[in-house]
Amino acid sequence: MVTFKKTLRAFDWCDLAQLGETYRGKVRDCLWGPDWGAIVTSDRISAFDAVFPQAIERKGEVLQSLATHFLGMAEQIVPTHLKEVIDPNAMLVRKAQALPVELVIRGYLTGSAWRDYQAGVLESKYGLSLPPGMQQHQKLEAPVITPTTKEAAGHDQPITCEQAAHITGRWLEIEAIVQQLYAQGVAHAASRGLLLVDCKYELGLIDDQLVLIDELHTPDSSRYWVDQPGEPVQLSKEFFREWLLEQGADRVIDIPPDVSLAISERYLDLHQRLLGRDLPAPEERDAQSRIYDRLKGKLCVS
């Protein structure tokens, strides 16, 4: 059981504008050069396409630590964009042309797939036809891929695999990579007493070669359950989504301190379970200044 102790203010954002072209995502702040990128992972939390005002302490460190570990494992299957970790919250990457699709592979009927199944819209959204009478959280006969578009603004749109194949032009290769990555993640989770329920993958191109980009098998991009009988014990961000649904939240609301603490504890607990070690003690220097200085040193900016 992870003991969580409040130490430093949660890391909300990093001002990189003086170093070059920047982009601020829901959780990550990015700096881009001609063929390289720097990705800074904050403690911000998002759900249902909204970013919430309360950041979750040490969440960014958990995301980066897990992502870099699993990106290293993924090199057995597909090249990745990771070049170097320069800070607990920052990494240097190779710049890739992101494919305009995101791919979620699902091993269980849960989350939004369950809600779509109940509403009878799985087939119209994704072209999936599942048998009637399935139960929430039921394991699927075989993992299925539910792609979406990757929109520059607004909500990503669900599409079928046939539509994704038309968009990407290399579907058989992409499908094989995603299935292998999921199988690798499932095996690792099982060795730690966990179930990797589903996961989002993003791919890009570097010199026409497919590479894995963004994060991998983190609690933001994946759903993990403790492998035990009964109602699933959530260790990923789904815990927060479920809490929001219980509140009937149809807008951004404040996260109470006890909920923020519970989310932090689950992220830290998952990190320990997956990697067999806790996060290192947090650095005393504030994240904004230390990341800026480390990036500036790497880029030789005067």
Residue 117 forms part of a structural domain: yes
* Residues 146/121, Cβ–Cβ less than 8 Å: no
How confident is the model at residue 278, as a pLDDT? 94
Radius of gyration for the alpha carbons in the chain, expressed in angstroms and rounded = 19
Residue 31 forms part of a structural domain: no
Helix, strand or coil, per DSSP, at residue 163: helix
| Phi and psi, residue 47, nearest 5° | -160, 140
Nearest CA-CA partner of 243 in 44, 48, 2: 48
How confident is the model at residue 222, as a pLDDT? 96
Spell out the alpha helix ranges (H) of 90-231.
Answer: 111-119, 122-126, 161-168, 171-191
Separation CA 72–CA 75 (nearest Å): 6
Residue 3 forms part of a structural domain: no
Q: Which domain holds residue 196?
A: 98-239
* Residues 134/113, Cβ–Cβ less than 8 Å: no
18 CB contacts (<8 Å, ≥6 apart)? 301
Domains in the chain, number: 1
Q: What is the mean pLDDT of the chain?
A: 92
Residue 253 forms part of a structural domain: no
- From first to last of the 302 residues of the chain, give the pLDDT tens digit: 333 344 446 888 888 888 988 999 899 999 998 899 999 999 999 998 889 999 999 999 999 999 999 999 999 999 999 999 999 999 999 999 999 999 999 999 999 999 999 999 999 999 999 999 999 999 999 999 999 998 877 678 999 999 999 999 999 999 999 999 999 999 999 999 999 999 999 999 999 999 999 999 999 999 999 999 999 998 888 889 889 989 988 778 999 999 999 999 999 999 999 999 999 998 888 898 999 999 998 886 54
How confident is the model at residue 2, as a pLDDT? 36
How confident is the model at residue 72, as a pLDDT? 97
The whole-model pTM stands at 0.93
At 88-112, the pLDDT tens digits run 999 999 999 999 999 999 999 999 9
Separation CA 63–CA 42 (nearest Å): 9
Question: What residues pair up with 79 in beta bridges, in sequence order?
Answer: none
Residue 146 forms part of a structural domain: yes
How confident is the model at residue 30, as a pLDDT? 94
**Number of Cβ within a 10 Å radius of residue 70:** 24
CATH of the domain at 133: 3.30.470.20
Residue 116 forms part of a structural domain: yes
Residue 131 forms part of a structural domain: yes
Residue 275 forms part of a structural domain: no
How confident is the model at residue 13, as a pLDDT? 83
The CA–CA distances, whole Å, from 234 to 85, 117, 231 equal 29, 21, 9
How confident is the model at residue 298, as a pLDDT? 86
Instruction: Provide the residue count of the chain.
Output: 302
Separation CA 171–CA 177 (nearest Å): 10
